[in-house]
Amino acid sequence: MLPVVGAPAPERADAARNRVRVLEAAAALHAEGGVAALTTDAVAARAGVGKGTIYRRFTDKGGLAAALLDERGRRLQERMLTGPPPLGPGAPAADRLAAFVVAYVEHTVGSLDLVLLSETATPGGRLAKPVYPFWRRHVEVLLEEAGAPAPRTRAEALLAALAAEQLHGWTVADGRAVDALASELADVARALAR
Amino acid sequence: MLPVVGAPAPERADAARNRVRVLEAAAALHAEGGVAALTTDAVAARAGVGKGTIYRRFTDKGGLAAALLDERGRRLQERMLTGPPPLGPGAPAADRLAAFVVAYVEHTVGSLDLVLLSETATPGGRLAKPVYPFWRRHVEVLLEEAGAPAPRTRAEALLAALAAEQLHGWTVADGRAVDALASELADVARALAR
DNA sequence: GAGCGAAGCGGACTACAGTCCGGTCATGGA
DNA sequence: TCCATGACCGGACTGTAGTCCGCTTCGCTC
């Protein structure tokens, strides 16, 4: 068969089966014992798979955590792309941006331990996550629409402020209320959009 | 002798000697082989000290890296507190803030590998560094002076955008020029000050 | 359905961070 | 000077991430 140019490499049947097994095992372990239970040994044993298989499929522990978050993240992405305004299309850029910040904060805080793991398991993990370019592009486009200078830099700066580590500091260490925090951060986004 | 209330616990002579030894060994290893050479085993061996000693004194590897950066950091702190404007006192708050961002970016990029280590060795490391409250307070005060809303949140958001991980992504992964980047980030600071 | 190249697999292995606790020695008081 | 105390020390030990490479399985082709 001719390879389809640009298509993701097709996955062998055994590989696909093992990916599902690993994700199910990881989800179960996480449900039972939190992130502390998510050791690569435990996941491999529970999935009935070798450690090498996990690393081949998910690069590292952070990648596994990111994969666990995938479905939830995709739901948010859909709301951003095709949902009702102000998060979805139709509202002014600054309003969409503010709505994104609130939704992103809630999304992240809702799975804080996994997101934290996915972003801090390896240095630079946050920027290396497959979804990162999606968030960045979305924010960049909105900033550009709003007429802000240096939209790319500002987009990354804004996302850095929404890093799991920072949100963890605010909501857990400092004990701040998520709603109030999200609203202040939405304000930050508006400030950057001008 | 009566303990002095509020004073830092005095350090025993052998403890002080060992701290110096560890720092010298770490600095030498770093000079020779970069951060990769900074394993706790190697530092302990070179310092002629047990690993327990390192952990007693520096908490973890990130703390050791932070201690190595201490002197350089103190120089920047002095320039901020008593140096000439616009970094030091005397200039309008927004200008001081912009000058801080530029100086901080240069400071961080100048020792990027060590700062990265100090901030990412442990999750939440950036917020746990002893100097963090200093930077945060400085930015917060300037934002407040400039009349910005939610100065504390904005200060932390700004510092998050200046995290070593992010600066590493921009300057190394993306290959961006430090000067141009610093100036765009100074602009971000000005936007937050309004 | 047999052959074959390549992708995938697994688990022993390495390297490293951080802990633990029995022994040691600095320090201040008598 | 000598002693009691507890801070300090060191290095063996544990737990975990991530690597490596010989073996297996897949799936395409003929």
Same topology, domains A1-58 and A61-193? Answer is no
Q: What is the pLDDT of residue B4?
A: 43
Structure-token match 């720092």, residue found: B23
- Assess whether pLDDT exceeds 90 at residue B1: no
Q: How confident is the model at residue B12 (pLDDT cuts 50, 70, 90)?
A: confident
Q: CATH for B12-58, among 1.10.10, 3.40.1620, 2.60.40, 2.30.230?
A: 1.10.10
CB B115 within 8 A of CB B62: no
Structure-token match 């950066």, residue found: B69
Flag residues of chain A having pLDDT under 70: 1-9
A–B interface: beta-carbon pairs under 8 A: 91
Task: Give per-residue pLDDT as tens, B29-78.
Answer: 999 999 999 999 999 999 999 999 999 999 999 999 999 999 999 999 99
Strand C contacts (Cβ < 7 A) comprise: A 9, 11-12, 14-15, 17-18, 44, 48-53, 55-57; B 1, 10, 12-14, 38-41, 51-52, 55, 60-62, 121-122
Interchain pair B127, A153: CB under 8 A = no
CATH topology of domain A61-193: Tetracycline Repressor; domain 2 (1.10.357)
Task: Give per-residue pLDDT as tens, B73-100.
Answer: 999 999 999 999 999 999 999 999 999 9
Task: Give per-residue pLDDT as tens, A78-129.
Answer: 999 999 999 999 999 999 999 999 999 999 999 999 999 999 999 999 999 9
**Distance in Å, alpha carbon of B12 to nearest chain A alpha carbon:** 32
Looking at the domain that runs over A1-58, which CATH code has it been given?
1.10.10
Closest to B119 in 3D by CA, of A106, A119, A67: A119
CATH topology of domain B60-193: Tetracycline Repressor; domain 2 (1.10.357)
Nearest-CB residue to B185 (from A127, A153, A168): A153
Determine what percent of chain B is predicted with pLDDT higher than 70: 95
Domain ranges of chain B: 12-58, 60-193
Q: What is the pLDDT of residue B97?
A: 98
Q: Where are the alpha helices (DSSP H) in A8-131?
A: 13-33, 40-47, 51-58, 61-82, 93-110, 112-120, 125-128
Neighbours of A89 (CB within 10 A): 12
**Distance in Å, alpha carbon of A191 to nearest chain B alpha carbon:** 6
Q: What is the pLDDT of residue A41?
A: 96
Nearest chain B residue to A165 by CA: give it: B124
Q: What is the pLDDT of residue A9?
A: 62
Q: What is the pLDDT of residue A3?
A: 43
